[in-house]
Chains A and B, each alone.
Chain A
Amino acid sequence: MADAHAHAPGLAHHFESYEQQKESAFLGMWIFLAQEIMFFSGLFTCYLVYRVLYPHAFLVGSRELDWRIGAANTVVLLLSSFTMVVAVLGAKQGRRKMIVLGLLGTLLFGGIFLGVKVFEYGSKWEHHLVPGPYFEWHGDPSVGREVELFFSLYFGMTGMHALHMVIGMGIMLVMLPLAWRGKWTPQNHNFVEGFGLYWHFVDIVWIFLFPFLYLIGLSGGSSH
């Protein structure tokens, strides 16, 4: 196969130019994120419907969560977005160590976030707040079922979010050695930049989850 651009490193055979390859990669990434938005919007719609149906139970359920831990984790996640930007910048400037350090930082903050999450899940388990046969409610018995539904959503939403982070961290573990070996150059680092978009997207999902789950309980007074 004597392609006209057989010498161009990192240019796939079916593209005519780096420009075309780059535009395709980003359009593909944005379409993928649109798909992700639709995926999460199912959960958010579910949340919306049940919160409108059971506003009081959602406040009661939310007060079982510790907003300080949620806030701390929000900061951790924002820091991981910052280190992700560092990695992307490093790729743009062709600075291999900067990519590696950025990815390592992102992995670190992502790991802290997930560690805190595991701790939170564990304490919910101890307090019998995990929905299912193990669930026990010791508060106002009239809202027990509905509080359980709040926790179904809490675990469903944060679980899906955490799953996206785990997948992202798995991809970063693959990226690390590639970055170290200098796979990405200023002309061709679409993968790093596209992955950055994904990571920021996952962060933004959390930016919505945090107030919807942790902060609504802070509003004082009776919610009837």
Chain B
Amino acid sequence: MQATASAATPEAVRPPRHHYLNVDYGLRSWLLTTDHKRIGILYLLSITFFFAVGGIYATLIRLELLTPQGDLVSSDTYNRLFTMHGVMMIFFFLVPSIPAVLGNFLIPLMIGAKDVAFPKLNLASWYMYMIGAGLTMYSLLHGGVDTGWTFYTPFSSSYSNSFVAATALGIFVNGFSSIFTGLNFLVTIHRMRAPGMTWFRLPLFIWSHYATSLIMVLGTPVLAITLVLLFLERVFQIGFFDPALGGDPVLFQHFFWFYSHPAVYIMILPSLGVISEIVAAFARKPIFGYKFVALASMGIAILGFLVWGHHLFLSSQSAYAALVFSVLTMLIAVPSAIKVFNWMATLYRGSIEYSTPMFYALGFIGLFTIGGLTGLMLGTLGIDVHVHDTYFVVAHFHYIMVGGALMGYLGGLHYWWPKITGRLYSGFWSHLSALLVFLGFNLTFFPQFILGYLGMPRRYHVYPPEFQVLHVLSTAGASILAVGYLLPMVYFIWSLKYGDYAGRNPWGAVGLEWQATSPPALHNFEEIPVVDFEPYQYKGAPVAQRLPYRIAKYGA
């Protein structure tokens, strides 16, 4: 790191006099803002908080699992720990993460618009998120929920002595935030594109958000009605799912996974878009097979609605249904693999720069591939019967959710941080954090594949002593992972005051968002841009644009 004397700062690197952060000050200007960029920041702060809450639960879980006896917490408390970890991380961190923070900030910038189509609805989505999170925090502070994040009936509706109703209501309200965001993005991408920004000139980040938004709009309401029915059954004993009230509990599982499997793609698709941006920018090459990558996002979104039954292989589903769901599950590997292979082909003979975002992206590709391939194993009926409800499943979905979605989120945050704040962060510390996250993640979750294969069931805190070595390894990895997550919080905050000015385009990337100032002006562009170029034209992109970054970072 080299401090740059402000006198020596080239004119082009200085932040503009007026931008969205200094146009107005005070709490009111933030809480009543309709600026998509400020709403993105509101989301950034709130989801970071709930990520920390979910992280505390993860810490307690890993501490408890250090020993084979249940000596830190009781079984009942342990049930609440893993439930609240899942609820917080999935509904209040992963689902909103990239769309609500980076998507909100970047979609109008990337398509050359002044804002999203419905700015007030956008703000309302944040309030819905906060109300939902508040209700969930209420239940959490009173002891939480012990049903697992899946809320399976009839345990959740008739037997559990925990705060199911408040949590269900919180997730229901939070669903509106998802629906509003998805609706806004769909209309924005359809109707707000700058002149010349045709569908196949859209950045892949936009394509992946389009696909994500479709799932948000069409999937979330099904979860909403499921939670309403669960709520009615629990609070008023109006039977829908409980066999004692005439209902069918498997129907609940169908409803729940009809949303919650596509929700996996809500979490991972935006990451796939982020990785496409980063890989092209730091391989200095057009993305290989642009149209295939774009349409693969749509393929994943559509197929994603047809595979929910693979969560019910052992829930009395008919053998024929299981067979069909198994085949459909295999099919979804095709568009996913298209993306991985196309990133590979983009990297091939590219001029690769190992920037921090690229570190995250490369880590993502490896972890996503492992997560995806183990997903194929789980989609295979014979293997699934063996490893169902074991740590193998836990490891698999953490490779997708944490190794995939979270790595993508962090990569994207590092990539666009200079655009969002106008500042550069420390190269050394950010590289270190990316390395720690990658190593810590693998040490945490790879042993869990072995644990699961050997028969360690999920959701148990007492286990046979022979599993202890692997559990200790996992907990050690989680400690490294925690350091990797804490570091960015430190150097990001540090950069706000002490970081070097980023300039418009510190990475020398193409794409409309890099033509705006850093931080962008209130209405993004001086005038609405006209797009007369194809996406990812890195061949012959002016290298001079990259100079400010090099000066600031390496002093050359």
Interface positions of A (Cβ within 8 A of B): 1, 12-14, 16, 20, 23-24, 27-28, 31-32, 34-36, 38-43, 45-46, 49-50, 53, 131-133, 145-146, 148-149, 152-153, 155-156, 160
Contacts and interface: CB of A to CB of B under 8 A. Distances in A.
B303 to A, nearest CB: 18
Given A131-B239, A149-B247, A152-B246, 9 more contacts: A35-B218, A35-B220, A36-B221, A38-B222, A133-B237, A145-B246, A152-B239, A153-B240, A155-B238
A41 B245 CA distance: 22
Chain A interface helix/strand/loop/mixed = helix
Given A49-B251, A133-B237, A35 B217 contact: yes
Contact of B238 (A1, A41, A156): A156
A197 to B, nearest CB: 14
A32 B183 contact: yes
Given A28-B117, A31-B217, A156-B229, A146 B246 contact: yes
Interface string B182-221: 0110110011100000000000000000000000011111
B226 A42 contact: yes
B118 interface: yes
B224 interface: yes
B333 to A, nearest CB: 26
Contacts of B534: none
Contacts of B239: 131, 145, 148-149, 152
A196 B191 CA distance: 22
Nearest to B233: A152
Contact of A42 (B192, B222, B237): B222
A103 B184 CA distance: 28
Contacts of A34: 217-218
The 3 nearest A-B residue pairs measured at CB? A42-B225, A39-B221, A14-B115
Contacts of B236: 131-132
Contacts, number: 113
Interface of B: 113-119, 179, 183-184, 186-187, 190-192, 217-222, 224-226, 228-229, 232, 236-240, 245-248, 251, 255, 522-523, 528
A12 B245 CA distance: 52
Contacts of B224: 39, 42
A156 B183 contact: no
A149 B246 contact: yes
B222 A13 contact: no
A41 B116 CA distance: 29
B523 to A, nearest CB: 8
Contacts of B237: 131-133
B238 to A, nearest CB: 5
26 contacts: A1-B523, A14-B114, A14-B192, A24-B192, A28-B187, A32-B183, A34-B217, A35-B179, A36-B221, A38-B217, A38-B221, A39-B221, A39-B222, A42-B221, A42-B225, A42-B229, A50-B247, A131-B245, A133-B237, A148-B245, A148-B246, A149-B240, A152-B245, A156-B228, A156-B240, A160-B228
Contacts of A133: 237
A41 B229 contact: no
Contacts of B184: 28
Contacts of A156: 228-229, 232, 238, 240
Contacts of B113: 14
Nearest to B191: A24
A212 B336 CA distance: 42
B240 A152 contact: yes
B128 to A, nearest CB: 14
A159 to B, nearest CB: 9
A145 B245 contact: yes
Nearest to A28: B187
A82 B251 CA distance: 38
Contacts of A155: 238
B258 to A, nearest CB: 8
A174 to B, nearest CB: 15
Given A131-B238, A152-B240, A24 B117 contact: yes
Contacts of A23: 191
Contacts of A131: 236-239, 245
Contacts of B190: 24, 27
A154 to B, nearest CB: 10
A164 to B, nearest CB: 12
Contacts of A152: 232, 238-240, 245-247
Contacts of B186: 27, 31
A38 B255 CA distance: 11
A74 to B, nearest CB: 23
Contacts of B248: 49-50, 53
Given A148-B239, A152-B238, A156-B240, A35 B221 contact: yes
Contacts of A148: 239, 245-246
Nearest to A130: B238
A43 B226 CA distance: 9
Nearest to A132: B237
A1 B237 CA distance: 57
B489 to A, nearest CB: 33
A13 B114 contact: yes
B229 A46 contact: yes
Nearest to B237: A132
A51 B221 CA distance: 23
A155 B233 CA distance: 12
